[in-house]
Structure formats: structure tokens, C-alpha cells
Amino acid sequence: MRTNRRSVFMKDEFFSFILASFKGISQVFLIEKVSTGLLILLAITISSYYLGIIALLSSLIGTLVAKLGGAEENIINQGLFGYNSVVTGMALVLFLKGPFAWIIALIGAAVAAFFTAALIHFMKRTEMPVLTFPYIVLTWLVLLSTYQLGNINIVSGLIPHDLQNLKINNEGIHFIDAICNGISQIVFLENKISGLLLFVAVFLADRKLGCYAVIGSITAVMFSYALGGEHNLITEGLYGYNAILTIIAVSEVFNNNNRLALLLGIIAACLTIPITAGINIFLLPYGLPALTMPFVLCSWIFLSVRKVFPNI
């Protein structure tokens, strides 16, 4: 009898662990839904089987670390220890080269769970969400360490650049590609089909979130074009993904049911454009990508403002 009870308990624990891991993938888009996590994973896998496997393993690892560490079950089951691990694992496997890049990426996914736990603790008093800050800091540190650690190698595209030799390519914008790539770049993809599937995933999770994602992507394309952003970067979606995450965060996920939520979300999305450009230039001498730092900064700014200006 005890054996049967233990077997049922183990099955329930395993099932809960798997569900939390898929929620960890969906939380990359600030959504807590297993079906959304599955669709996001499918969109990644369509573009790259390798990246799909890394994304799944990274979420499993981040969730497992939280389980073994004794984190609160409620936080684990929301997938909040998975999403930073997912994007860290994907980023490191893309930005590092060599036969052991995937091992470093999965170790990074485990460390990301520790960083997430630390940030949750540090930010409790501020009542501010951790967002993707642990992934940003960890990824930057690992990439910078490649200049001192000879056995960890960075891809050639991320080598430091001289601002004086910066070339801007303005050969025209493909607007549909730019809109689709904006959402696909959240998970490091530049793939129209994957982008469309990701829009579907967000719409199925919540129609309002889906609308905000589309609005955020279109806003980013139009505003970055109006500001004279480099056409190639716009088409590749590199101005779009931070805007999409920001409008979702400000207008819906962390919204206080204010009527101005959508307007503030659009303003916040627009703000990510100059911030993205500024961070890109600031990091150019270090050869580092901006990642989701514009999203984190803009979201923290607007969420902090609401604590002082409750009417917005």
C-alpha cells in the first residue's frame, strides 16, 4: 500500500515538474500557460532542432535546480525559475563556439536559476519583478570572460567594434518580415514562420496579449523607421522584441487596471527604440548584444513611476 502511494506521489511530482518546465518556456513571453510553452517550443524547433532541444533542457534544468533547492512550490509551478534559464541557455549556445558550447550553455542555465533566486530575494522589498535581468547579467559576464579564458570562445560576430568604423546599412525595409521577426527575436530567431506561430501562441493564451504583441511590433517598426534606425536591424526584428515584451508587461501583466494602460504601453514600447540604439552603441566596444536590457529598463521605469503616480 505504501509503495503504491509513493508511486502515485512520484508520478504527481514528475507531472508537476514537467508542467512547470513548459510554463518556464511560456514565461519568456510573460505568460503562464503550458500550451503556450509547447507552441513556443514548436516555433523554436521549426527554426532549429538544436535550439529547441537546448531550450527544453534549459527549462528542465532551471526548474530542477529550484526543486532541489527547496524553492516555494507556488513560484516553481508558475515557471518563474525556468524562463531565465531558457534564454540563458539559448543565448550562450548561439554566442559561443566550439564543441563544448552546449555544455557551457546548460551549465549557464543552471546558474541562471541561482541568479534568479538571488534577484527574487534582493528585490522583495521593492516589489519589482525580476524579469530577465539575471539572464542579461549572466550572459554578459560569460561573454566577457571569453577574453580572459582561452577555452571559452565567442563567435566572430560579437567581437568588439570601433565606433568610428561603424557602417549603417539602409537598403530598405521589409515590413512584414520586420513585424514577424520582432516577436521571433525574443527567442533569438529570424524566421517568418516561427514569428507567425509565436503570434498565434500569444493570441491563444490571451487575445488581449496577442493584440498588444502585434501593436508592439508594428509600433517598433514604425517608430524606429521614423527615427532613422538602420533598415537591416529593423527588418531583422532587433528593434521589435524589446518593444513587444515591454508593451505586454506595462499594459497587461503588471497593469493596475488603469484605462491608460495601452497608451502607456505604447509610449514605453516607443521608449525602447532609443534605449536599444543607445545600449547597442554603448556595448559596441565590448562586442556585447543588448539582449533584453531595454525591456527591463523601460518596464522598471514605468512600474516604478506607477508607485509614485498611482493614477497611471
Do 154 and 253 fall into the same domain?
A: no
Report pLDDT for 8.
53
CATH number of the domain encompassing residue 287: 1.10.3430.10
Q: Are residues 310 and 165 in the same domain?
A: yes
Residue-level pLDDT at 41 = 98
**pLDDT value at residue 225:** 95
Mean pLDDT of 100-128: 95
The pLDDT value recorded for residue 81 is 97
Share of the chain above pLDDT 70, in %: 96
Q: How many CB atoms are located within 10 Å of the residue 163 CB?
A: 9
* Model confidence at 167: pLDDT above 80: no
User: Quick check: 276 pLDDT over 60?
Assistant: yes
Alpha-carbon distance of 208 to 248, in angstroms, equals 9
Reduce the DSSP state of residue 37 to 3 states and report it. Answer: helix
Residues 73 and 184 in one domain: no
Q: Is residue 137 domain-shared with residue 282, that is, in the same domain?
A: no
- Please answer whether residues 51 and 45 qualify as being in contact, where contact means their C-beta atoms are separated by less than 8 angstroms: yes
Q: Residues 173, 223: one domain?
A: yes
pTM for the whole thing? 0.94
Helices (H), the chain: 2-26, 34-47, 49-69, 73-77, 83-95, 101-122, 133-145, 175-184, 192-205, 207-226, 231-235, 241-248, 261-283, 293-308
126 and 197, same structural domain? no
Judgement on whether residues 179 and 281 belong to the same structural domain of the protein: yes
Query: 281 near 163, Cβ under 8 Å?
Result: yes
Residue 166 pLDDT class (50, 70, 90 cuts): confident
The residue among 130, 158, 186 that closes a domain is 158
Are 187 and 305 within one domain? yes
Residue 157 pLDDT > 90, yes or no?
no
In the listed set 122, 139, 158, which residue is the last one of a domain according to the structure? 158
Contact 270, 216 (CB under 8 A): no
For residues 163-180, give the mean pLDDT.
Answer: 83
Q: What is the pLDDT of residues 51-85, one digit of tens each?
A: 999 999 999 999 999 999 999 999 999 999 999 99
User: Do residues 148 and 234 both lie within one domain?
Assistant: no
pLDDT > 70? residue 105: yes
Burial of 258 (0-12, 13-18, 19+ CB in 10 A): middle
What would the pLDDT profile of 176-220 be if each residue is shown by its tens digit?
999 999 999 999 999 999 999 999 999 999 999 999 999 999 999
Residues 128 and 194 occupy one common structural domain:
no
Q: Bigger pLDDT: 5 or 41? A: 41
> What's the domain count of the chain?
2
Do 115 and 126 fall into the same domain?
yes
Give yes or no for residue 9 having a pLDDT over 60: no
- Binned at pLDDT 50, 70 and 90, residue 10 comes out as low
CB 56 within 8 A of CB 105: no
131, 158, 185 - which closes a domain: 158
| Structural domain boundaries enclosing 16 | 1-158
Higher-pLDDT residue of 87 and 252 is 87
Beta bridge partners of 153: 97
The answer on 151 and 191 residing in a single domain is no
